[in-house]
Structure 1
């Protein structure tokens, strides 16, 4: 298992200038290496017996360009541009490895046949991180000792250890996890170091026979999620509530002369607002995920096409809820605890009646499920949660038990809202 802990660091002004210069040089090298690959692709994409005089230049066919040829050319780059000698060598290699991964995601489809987008050229300020691939080893460029991070070519930087590094139970004498790499990240409110660590003692998933409690969750926009037990989590709508302040800050930025110091200050305020919203939303997702994992052994959810849903008129609300980020966090929290998370087919979960299985078609504005066959009347999201639970139990091979309540109890009981500890999101 790979864990990543993020800590704030306090570099000096001289170190900040050095790191910002590194980011700019690495950005230029990224753009040059990407241009090499795209030029090679344009020159070699036509068949040998035909050539387009419009889109492909005429000339000698260049040698293949890949990670190894570009890494070998680093020596020549340092001769032509001596500034690159000041950058830690492995950091430059990791920069090329990142480009190679982005290139392979674009050129090579995955198991499902999907490919990523084409790598882009980065504008000034868009590259915000660089990596030391080894930590606390004999030939490492980064060493973390007693709350001080020593980086090669940069120096010692104090680290705010707001939480201690985890200690592995399997390691003798209280030795912690194995530190793998250190990523230095520039954010709107300062600099951070992200320490990735490896733990081989991954908890085993709970056996199916040992599952004592299961739940199905239905995510939505009226309520963030509704469980098959009739519990609902209200949706916080962080972005919606901060729209006025964001619009005001962006209006101020648009009135400044682009590139001026006042424009940079206004841009920084907008970035701080967006960073605060992101952190509030992430904290809320972790609270809900831990609440679910503390109560249930098996959690079933819909395998939604969130990208497709985000292209509708509800795109802003869907992005504000961030279902995809929440489901990823839920999966991570469940794996750490050894619990089970099961995806189910979302087709028809809102239409089918949980009691008799008949299909009751209704629009999104209808929030109550009324079945004409069995006369069941229940909240629409609650009905979906029970159907999701039943599909999840079938997927793992467990008998159906609904939500553990009788139909009369379900009809009489209203959806109850869960009061979680709300994050500090006052803007």
Structure 2
């Protein structure tokens, strides 16, 4: 399995300037290549291949006075920018033809120099490596100080240097990892994700919703008010924008850490994990949009999925149209309309249900049924 390991970088001022040049060169090459392909399409010419683009926007451009500074950075930076454009076109075409699942992907767009998040990628062709002193050596940049939180499981195939909106630098290493199956256990769990509680488990446990963004709203509101008072283009406005970005970064880091802790515990303690396939994009268009984004369900379920694959566990999603909340987990009767304010209800069979726990139990039962069907089980239960 290929995973990414991310670590914090602390480049020197000279290295920050070198990285800024690399970010700018990658952005310009990407935009020049996108412009060339658009112009060829408008002129009715064939689709420009990667080789033709590389010759046009890199090799020939370096010979001109307007783009001579492209030679100041590693050539791999420019080549990877073209690879990103090719991947963007491939995803767009696959989305148009229906081969790509999920939401529709738009056509590639020009990259803005005002974007506060920048990234460049170095592959093995660029001869990057981690020195014996424990520093990643980047071509034309040098040995960058890094804070290691853990060891890499294998030699990285590439590294992506990222500068986020808060001005922090990160190195994201792509490495191949071997599966590490955990000892088998008989426990299985169904998870009902929500807003009142972040997750309710089928065994009755409830994981509280931390509300990281809600807790930081007061600080964030003050930072954004201060930002709105600054003159556009001034240094004070850039400083105020950086302060607001740092608050958002702390919120995102805390949310990600919480998701990692919860997902690791669930995967470690259960042989199979089942969750509901929620339409997060649809819920994000309702009046609960801020709370939905603050919960981060998509990130959490993605962590569960890749950790289950790595540690030999079973992960499955239950159909979102399955009536998990309105179905009695004892007798299977489906009730009528049930507004969201109803948190407990009594079935006609006499069973009293907590709405969320009952939903988690139904998700567990549905996940088990789908798993048995996939393994050759009966399609219908016995009479």
TM over 0.5: same fold? yes
Alpha-carbon distance between aligned partners in 2 of 1:105 and 1:67, rounded to the nearest angstrom: 16
Distance 2:108 2:242 in 1: 26
Q: Give runs of aligned pairs for residues 27-426 of structure 1, distance below 5 A.
A: 27-41=27-41, 43=42, 61-73=44-56, 74-80=58-64, 81-109=67-95, 110-112=99-101, 115-126=104-115, 128-134=118-124, 139-145=125-131, 146-166=133-153, 177-187=154-164, 188-199=166-177, 201-203=178-180, 212-347=186-321, 348-360=323-335, 361-371=337-347, 373-397=348-372
Alpha-carbon separation, structure 2, partners of 1:7 and 1:215 = 33
What is the total number of aligned residue pairs between the two structures?
363
2:3 is the alignment partner of 1:14: no
Tell me if the contact between 1:147 and 1:160 (Cα under 8 Å) persists in the aligned partners: no
Q: CA deviation at 1:178?
A: 3.0
Aligned CA distance change for structure 1 residues 164 and 112 (closer, same or farther; 3 Å): closer
1:140 Cα deviation (Å)?
A: 4.0
Secondary structure of the 1:108 match is helix
* Alpha-carbon spacing, 1:158–1:103, altered in 2? closer, same or farther (3 Å): same
TM-score under structure 1 normalisation?
Answer: 0.81
Q: Deviation digits for residues 314-350 of structure 1, max 9, x if unmatched?
A: 1111111011110001112222211111111132111
Distance in 1 (CA, whole Å) between partners of 2:187 and 2:149 is 35
Return the offset for 1:98. 0.7
**TM-score, scaled to structure 2:** 0.90
Q: How many angstroms apart in 2 are the aligned matches of 1:162 and 1:344?
A: 36
Q: CA RMSD in A?
A: 2.0
8 Å Cα contact 1:203-1:335 kept in structure 2 = no
Partner of 2:378: none
What residue is the counterpart of 1:406 in the other structure?
none
Alpha-carbon distance between aligned partners in 2 of 1:190 and 1:313, rounded to the nearest angstrom: 33
Distance 1:147 1:314 in 2: 46
Contact 2:182 2:268 in 1 (8 A): no
Maintained 8 Å contact 1:8/1:192: yes
Question: What is the CA–CA distance in structure 2 between the aligned matches of 1:205 and 1:304, rounded to whole Å?
Answer: 28
Instruction: Give secondary structure in 2 for the equivalent of 1:119.
Output: coil
Highest CA radius of gyration, 1 or 2? Answer: 1
